[in-house]
Structure 1
Amino acid sequence: MKRDPGAVPSGLDSGEAARRLARDGPNALPDSGRRRWPRIAADAAREPMHALMVGAALLYLLLGEPLEGGFLFAVVGVMVAMTLYQEGRTERALQALRALGAPMALAWRDGRAQRIPADALVAGDLVELGEGDRVPADGLLLAASGLQIDESLLTGESVPVGKIAAPKDDNAAHAPAPGGADLPWVFSGTLVVQGHGLVRIRATGARSEIGRIGAALGRLAPPPGRLRRETTALARRFALLGGLVSAALVVLLVARGAGPVQALLAGIALAMSMLPGEFPVILTVFPAIGAWRLAHSQVLTRRLAAIEILGSTSALCVDKTGTLTENRMAVARLWRDGVLHDATAGAALTPPQRELLAGALRASRALGSDPMDGAFWRLAGQALPGGGALPAGWTLVHEYGLTPARRALVHVWDEGDGSLLAAAKGAPETVVAMCRLDAAQRTAALDAAAAMAVDGLRLLAVAQARLPAGTARWPADPAAFDFELLGLAALADPLRADIPAAVGACRTAGLRVLMITGDHAGTARAIARQAGLAADGPGAVLSGAEIATLDDAALARRLDGVGVCARIAPEQKLRIVQALQRQGAVVAMTGDGVNDAPALRAADVGVAMGLRGTDVAREAAELTLLDDRFSSLVEAIAAGRRIFGNMRKSMRYVMAAHVPIAGMALLPALLGWPILLYPLHIVFLELVITPACSVAFENEPAEADLMRRPPRPPGDVLFGGRAIASALLQGIWLLCLLGALYGWALARLPEPEARATAFVGLVLGNLALLVSNRQGHGVIRILRTGNPVFWGIVGMALLLLGLAVWLPALAGLLSLAPPPASALAATGGVALLALGGLELRKWTALHPWRHPTA
């Protein structure tokens, strides 16, 4: 059964669809991936830091100090609440990303085709299926043209199966099992790999075949990314080290005559100080919130692990149409028999030119998102009687789709009286080769195409053939038809206004941009020249025909200096990506079609098009450009660099901050001084560190020269040896100053005042670490860099510190007493000295000493 192109499907009205949706529920499997608050709270309660705090609270109760124990229990509740807020914010960001990435369906509602969320489909809806779509629900095909569907998700068979339309009197209530060719049923979750069709939905959500099988796919969790594995291993090492050192401290204190409970409290404080519990927070919050921010820049992150790769991307392989250009096609010129018509001038078409335009319409689809088809229909609305509408009685009886070997679309029409007409539209060299032309005619047509391509126009040739009446068996190749060349159509697709600036930004950032297109080499060269890409040097343009003659090693060598790849078949994109990767490049690749999926999957970062891309491409990619703009991809790379850099700063700050805390929990015991830090003090410091690392650094703006630096080396880890060494040096410097401060205070002040002096110095030193690690430049510029969250944390830390030292009830809990002015001046001096040393270390790293040469 073939669909009558003139018939408009009825579909449901919105009111009836809403009633069915309320009755049957959304067309979705149960959402098992979302973490709700009871699960988040349970996970937070099992954190080692919280377990240590609960143990300390119980010890305080054993000591007969209910106030301290109750306070610790209250703080545990506050920290769990903070975790709920933080992870709730992260979960809301992830839910927003899921909503943005939710599949859409082209359904007929209220008498017109409209894109609606797939989860809003109901039984009875009419849905258009096209190449690259994922079938949104189970249904019966009412019309089909060359439809091939991959049902491997349900059957395990990797070979696509052909589908046919159901007979008009087919009232089957239940679909057969998936699998098998030439059936009229389609199933939710399967992929359209070729052709198009119209389906009436029969079963949605849990009632679909995939719903009956079970929601196992929704319960599958992706393996942890490289960053999480690295930091988890690092946190385990610190936890093990903290446990061993804490046990040794307890033994040492008991051997020196301390009470067992007091020794245990000191040991718990040391364990808490050495446990970098902030690492999981950083790894959870930064990518999720960063991906949410990217979504506001029209870039959807489907896999959060892609964010860590963006910062090291060194090569961008991009489409021309719709990415560099506006994808706003308009017919600019028509050429027939040597006569050129400027379609933009508004002059009337001659009869031969009207025949050329009508032939292009017969080889176009009336319904669809192809901008070239839309350009022909718009011109026909102005230049042809009836807007080029299909004559009464005409029916599409066969379609030859585009293939890599045949870059042309052919429609075969029954004109209603038994006569058959084949209309072809495609690449000039393909269509011209299908026509019966002599050498002079062929040369004239190809020369005309090349001349128009120099102006950056996209070229299509149009042909038609009359077929014998009653033809029922179609040849495998439409070239067997006796085609007559109707002429050429040149379409203009202007370069996006922001492309030259975006390409310039890539060049400054050390990113190589390679344009890959199926267009004529002349068209590609002209657009590349406008965009600022390398297109005019020797060997700057590489053709698909040349690629076909090269082996993989030769292709990798040939790509040096290439800025444009023209007339590229989809499978050649995969070879280009792999060749660049052999050269050591980290490749981001854009694509929109079914055949682009292998290249998108092979690229380090696959980037699908959100407006014109297929579901297959979007699912193969890590990122989706919701607006199809190249500049959005450049912004995403800048954001990826910022996110990775801020994560590294945050982790460096966390480790540096834990060194003086752990040192001041251990050093007094080793030197025989009064214990400085107990669990309550560690809790206070954690209230500063956790929001600083997860909120202040996540909100830190990008450094001014971020996109003037070369890409990060591919093997560069988030927190490698150099970063760890830097953090340890910072922490040890502050620890030395604080140890000297505490010793000085103990020699001059009573123990509570000395403890308060050292504690104030520890908090101020922590803030010095926070300031110094925010940016790579000097402290004056750092303080001028806008980050209101940072100032909020500084203000809150100073307020809490003031309450802890000068509010008698809280000071009593912490065993502190207000220090004299001289001691406070000493703490301020230590903080300034700490900041000065941190900045000097930074300056020497940026300006290494150089010995003069002889």
Structure 2
Amino acid sequence: MTRATSPVGLSAEEAAARLRRDGPNELPRPERRTLLRIIRDVLSEPMLALLAGGGLVYLLLGDTVEALVLSVFATLSIVITIVQESRTERVLEALRDLTSPRALVIRGGTRTRIPGREVVRGDLILLAEGDRVPADALLAESSDLQVDESLLTGESVPVRKKTGSGEEPFSSRPGGDDLPQVFSGSLVVRGSGLAEVTATGADSEIGRIGASLGGLETEAPRLQTQTRRVVRAFAAASAAVCLLVVAIYGVARGSWLDGFLAGIALGMSLLPEEFPVVLAVFMAMGAWRISRARVLTRRAAAIESLGAATVLCTDKTGTLTENRMSIAEIRLPDGGAHAPASANPRVRAVIETGMLASAPRPSDPMELAFFRLGVERAAPAELARSYPLRPDLLAMTQVWRTPDRPEQVAAAKGAPEAIARLCGLAPDQAQAVAAGAEAMAAEGLRVLGVARAVSPSGPLPESQTGFRFAFLGLVGLADPLRPAVPAAVAECRAAGIRVVMITGDYPATARTIARQAGIDGDCLLAGDELSTLDDAALRDRARAATVFARIMPEQKLRIVQALKANGEVVAMTGDGVNDAPSLKAAHIGIAMGGRGTDVAREAAALVLLDDDFGSIAAAVRLGRRIYDNLRKAMGFIFAVHVPIAGLTVAPLMLGWPPLFGPVHIAVLEMVIDPICSLVFEAEPEEDDVMRRPPRDPAAPLFTPALIGWGLLQGGLAFVATAGAVWTASARGMGPDEVRAVAFVSLVLSILALVFVNRSFSASLLNAVRRPSAVLLAVLAATASTLSALLLWPALRSLFRFAPLHPDDLGAAAASAIALLLALEALKRGWSRVGVGRASTIRP
């Protein structure tokens, strides 16, 4: 009893050296935003043009100090935006690295799954059905290997591959059967293989022909489209109002330059340049936060959809369970149940045959369970042929040829009914096998049948049904439920999300695992019954079904379509090649990052790094939090622009001297921007985030209730600050004192708006108690800036502020506190009309 020598592959040190020498295994990505591109985009922003225009007007007026200050603010704006954009790009770059295709390599004799970009020349890569080939390579071993090379050749028919002798020059082009090479970007559709990498990155075939993997144009996410429409509408209205203000100043007061300054200040106060910035930051940081929950976001639209999911369809193995199979029971044809450690030779024969029916180097958890028992198997000289699983026959067969025997050994394992069919059992024998499998399944075991045949040397049959198999027994494998699953399922159900389990297991096994997970196992639909239902009948059954058992991968697509036809927003998990259509059809396709194939990952919107159902529930929670916080930020933006614009226009309408110029608006923008993009993004979730029904995916982000609430807040903030200005004027204060009071009142009112918008539902006291390091940092920076503007004579003179007395500051603070309390009282009533959340799908 011997074992074949296992390949060792490169050492970690040698692989690292080659990666440094040759560079990463990736093609140039034209969509990557370099620092120069970020700077160019920032310089084209309208707000920067307004700052530059204001500086030019100050120069024409002979006020070089004001012009210099605006230049400094313009530079600060550029620097802050570039730093923020660069940080966002670094987050996205890290996510791109994580979501790159994975490769299973052998390094130092150990199998390791690494990002495809880290594959180097000389690496030994393991290929299996559903894998995307990470680099050009020469086959050292292959078993019934077929590859789809249509990406390179345009020919959609898969081609056969054979093992190379090691002497062939790597000069063959893709296309045609029986080549010993596999090519980067092609797809393994059948079989398995071991290959040595010969070319990576731009040196690979796909690199030489200039293929670009990033050139596909995708539809803009719905939120981005809505935001662009709002920004365009605001920009058009702002331009019209600004031109009107310039005309009024020029005609009524005869001061066109002052009119231009007022128009620029008004334009800066009205231009909603925060909207696209906030959306970009929230989506990038949201994807990063979700990645920390071990879920990778491949499409931004998935973040929008997470809070709308009404049905979550999940696999059992590896998602609800730990995917750590162990053989718990072996049942022989006489009905006797035995422990796998039994010394019974018939039990040992079942285990050895199961090993022979497995891949030579297994990675499947069920196959690894056979090998972990430590039973030695005779090492055949050659694997003569593999017969893979087929949709019509859920069994696989490996045929081994030994050097000292004329006959060949065929070992089969698979679904008990399929093995019974291969063995040609009589009806009563097949019924006994089914009864034994049902009894084992009722204990929550995954059941496999095992059979063996001996075939004379010579040509092998085209199908595994051509062998004369003898039934050896049933194998029951246990896969424990993940400890966190019941709580995660309960959390999803509390959030109005119906959890549906879809599995290939027996109904009895599926019911047992479902009940352990907290899923109703009584509403079950089996695959054989599903195949008899038309679409209308399936839609009717899908309304209540919570468990789908004995399901073929292609039946998943029908389940998704039926649920969608019922008006559900469907999240679907999958890992195999045949799961790709259902993942793409679902509103939220979720691929397995550990055991999933590259095809499944490419079709999905989210990828689970650890294949854990708890990660899905965490992603849903984060998705709802991100959407909530985005709505808070957008409402704040609506609100904050009203008092700024109002105090810019009010002097013109009421005959007051101008209060704010571009320099004042620039300082206010320095306060508003970090609040919008950082403070609200970092806010923790609402207490009821997972106790409310899913939102309607068709509901707009900018609902009338949200816009109305923002305008109401802004209107009251304008009233509070205008009241402070009026009081200051009535007390006989000079213009510089009034301006200082107006500025302080406005800043404090903005901070009041922040506290009001931190939560849709929590009281002010509860919101204050929730820690936020980012908010504290912004408050400290704002207080420091405000203190410097009021106390430092040079800055005070520059901003045309006069010294304020404690009672003046107290009056400004009182107006902000009154605003805060009034809005807090109004918030409860306004929340009843839906400001706190988007429309829900069902009550």
Q: What TM-score, normalized by structure 2, do the two folds share? A: 0.95
Indicate if the aligned counterparts of 2:417 and 2:430 stay in contact, CA closer than 8 A.
no
Name the residue aligned to 1:844: 829
Measured at CA, do residues 169 and 49 of structure 1 come closer, stay the same or move farther in structure 2, by a change above 3 Å?
closer
Name the residue aligned to 1:402: 389
2:563 aligned counterpart, secondary structure: helix
Alignment of 1:422 with 2:410, yes or no, is yes
d(CA) in 1 for partners of 2:498, 2:155: 40
Indicate if the aligned counterparts of 1:5 and 1:395 stay in contact, CA closer than 8 A.
no
Of 456, 469, 487, the residue aligned with 1:483 is 469
Shift of 1:742: 2.0
Name the amino acid aligned to 2:126.
E
Alignment of 1:630 with 2:618, yes or no, is no
Offset from partner CA, 1:370-393 (integer Å, 9 cap, x none): 0000111111x0xxxxx32333x4
Of 270, 282, 290, the residue aligned with 2:266 is 270
Name the amino acid aligned to 1:377.
F
Indicate if the aligned counterparts of 1:772 and 1:839 stay in contact, CA closer than 8 A.
yes
Offset from partner CA, 1:598-628 (integer Å, 9 cap, x none): 1111111111111111111111111111111
d(CA) in 1 for partners of 2:487, 2:661: 56
Offset from partner CA, 1:30-86 (integer Å, 9 cap, x none): 243332222212211111001100111111112111111111111111111111221
Task: Structure 1: give runs of 5+ residues left out of the alignment.
Answer: 382-386, 850-854
The 5 A counterparts of 1:582-731 are 582-731=565-714
Name the amino acid aligned to 2:548.
C
Name the residue aligned to 2:812: 827
Shift of 1:112: 4.2
The 5 A counterparts of 1:197-596 are 197-220=193-216, 222-343=218-339, 346=341, 348-379=342-373, 381=374, 387-391=375-379, 393-416=380-403, 417-470=405-458, 472-475=459-462, 477-536=463-522, 540-596=523-579
Alignment of 1:762 with 2:760, yes or no, is no
Offset from partner CA, 1:420-465 (integer Å, 9 cap, x none): 1211100111111111222221111110100110111000000111
Shift of 1:525: 0.5
d(CA) in 1 for partners of 2:20, 2:636: 51
Indicate if the aligned counterparts of 2:98 and 2:115 stay in contact, CA closer than 8 A.
no
d(CA) in 2 for partners of 1:523, 1:15: 46
Name the residue aligned to 1:852: none
Name the amino acid aligned to 2:689.
L
Shift of 1:541: 0.6
Name the residue aligned to 2:118: 120
Indicate if the aligned counterparts of 2:309 and 2:694 stay in contact, CA closer than 8 A.
yes
Shift of 1:745: 2.1
Indicate if the aligned counterparts of 1:107 and 1:114 stay in contact, CA closer than 8 A.
yes
d(CA) in 1 for partners of 2:57, 2:773: 39
Name the amino acid aligned to 2:821.
G
Shift of 1:8: 2.9
Offset from partner CA, 1:706-737 (integer Å, 9 cap, x none): 11111111212222322112211111122223
Shift of 1:768: 0.8
Shift of 1:822: 4.0
Name the amino acid aligned to 1:672.
G
Name the amino acid aligned to 1:349.
A
d(CA) in 2 for partners of 1:223, 1:562: 34
Name the amino acid aligned to 2:312.
L
Paired residues in the alignment total 830
d(CA) in 1 for partners of 2:696, 2:15: 53
2:328 aligned counterpart, secondary structure: strand
Query: 764-773 or 200-209: which moved more?
Result: 200-209
Name the residue aligned to 2:838: none
2:100 aligned counterpart, secondary structure: coil
Query: 224-233 or 448-457: which moved more?
Result: 224-233
Of 720, 724, 728, the residue aligned with 1:745 is 728
2:239 aligned counterpart, secondary structure: helix
Name the residue aligned to 1:384: none
1:518 aligned counterpart, secondary structure: coil
Query: 4-13 or 818-827: which moved more?
Result: 4-13
d(CA) in 1 for partners of 2:746, 2:597: 56
Shift of 1:675: 1.3
Offset from partner CA, 1:464-500 (integer Å, 9 cap, x none): 1122321x2432x312221111110000111111111
Query: 612-621 or 214-223: which moved more?
Result: 214-223
Indicate if the aligned counterparts of 1:107 and 1:115 stay in contact, CA closer than 8 A.
yes
Measured at CA, do residues 755 and 12 of structure 1 come closer, stay the same or move farther in structure 2, by a change above 3 Å?
closer
d(CA) in 2 for partners of 1:671, 1:314: 54
2:483 aligned counterpart, secondary structure: coil
Shift of 1:633: 0.6
Name the amino acid aligned to 1:715.
A
Name the amino acid aligned to 1:175.
S
2:444 aligned counterpart, secondary structure: coil
Offset from partner CA, 1:641-674 (integer Å, 9 cap, x none): 0011101100110111011111111122122221
Offset from partner CA, 1:78-130 (integer Å, 9 cap, x none): 11111122112211211221222233322233344433433333333322211
d(CA) in 2 for partners of 1:159, 1:552: 31
Indicate if the aligned counterparts of 2:543 and 2:563 stay in contact, CA closer than 8 A.
no
d(CA) in 2 for partners of 1:621, 1:494: 27
Name the amino acid aligned to 1:139.
A
Query: 310-319 or 76-85: which moved more?
Result: 76-85
d(CA) in 2 for partners of 1:22, 1:276: 45
d(CA) in 2 for partners of 1:169, 1:681: 74
Name the amino acid aligned to 2:776.
W
d(CA) in 2 for partners of 1:159, 1:718: 45
The 5 A counterparts of 1:123-202 are 123-166=121-164, 168=165, 170-176=167-173, 178-202=174-198
Offset from partner CA, 1:292-318 (integer Å, 9 cap, x none): 122221111122221111111111000
d(CA) in 2 for partners of 1:275, 1:712: 30
Task: Structure 2: give runs of 5+ residues left out of the alignment.
Answer: 835-843
Of 798, 801, 805, the residue aligned with 2:790 is 805
Measured at CA, do residues 18 and 327 of structure 1 come closer, stay the same or move farther in structure 2, by a change above 3 Å?
closer
Q: What TM-score, normalized by structure 1, do the two folds share? A: 0.94
d(CA) in 2 for partners of 1:56, 1:587: 52
Name the residue aligned to 2:83: 85
Indicate if the aligned counterparts of 2:27 and 2:212 stay in contact, CA closer than 8 A.
no
Alignment RMSD, CA only?
A: 1.9
Query: 486-495 or 807-816: which moved more?
Result: 807-816
Name the residue aligned to 2:837: none
Indicate if the aligned counterparts of 1:338 and 1:444 stay in contact, CA closer than 8 A.
no
d(CA) in 1 for partners of 2:244, 2:831: 40
Indicate if the aligned counterparts of 1:13 and 1:110 stay in contact, CA closer than 8 A.
yes
Measured at CA, do residues 473 and 441 of structure 1 come closer, stay the same or move farther in structure 2, by a change above 3 Å?
closer
d(CA) in 2 for partners of 1:710, 1:691: 31
Indicate if the aligned counterparts of 1:419 and 1:469 stay in contact, CA closer than 8 A.
yes
Measured at CA, do residues 607 and 173 of structure 1 come closer, stay the same or move farther in structure 2, by a change above 3 Å?
closer
d(CA) in 2 for partners of 1:158, 1:651: 48
Indicate if the aligned counterparts of 1:5 and 1:396 stay in contact, CA closer than 8 A.
no
Measured at CA, do residues 299 and 848 of structure 1 come closer, stay the same or move farther in structure 2, by a change above 3 Å?
closer
1:188 aligned counterpart, secondary structure: coil
Offset from partner CA, 1:755-796 (integer Å, 9 cap, x none): 111111111111111110000221111111111211221222
d(CA) in 1 for partners of 2:441, 2:215: 51
Name the residue aligned to 2:71: 73
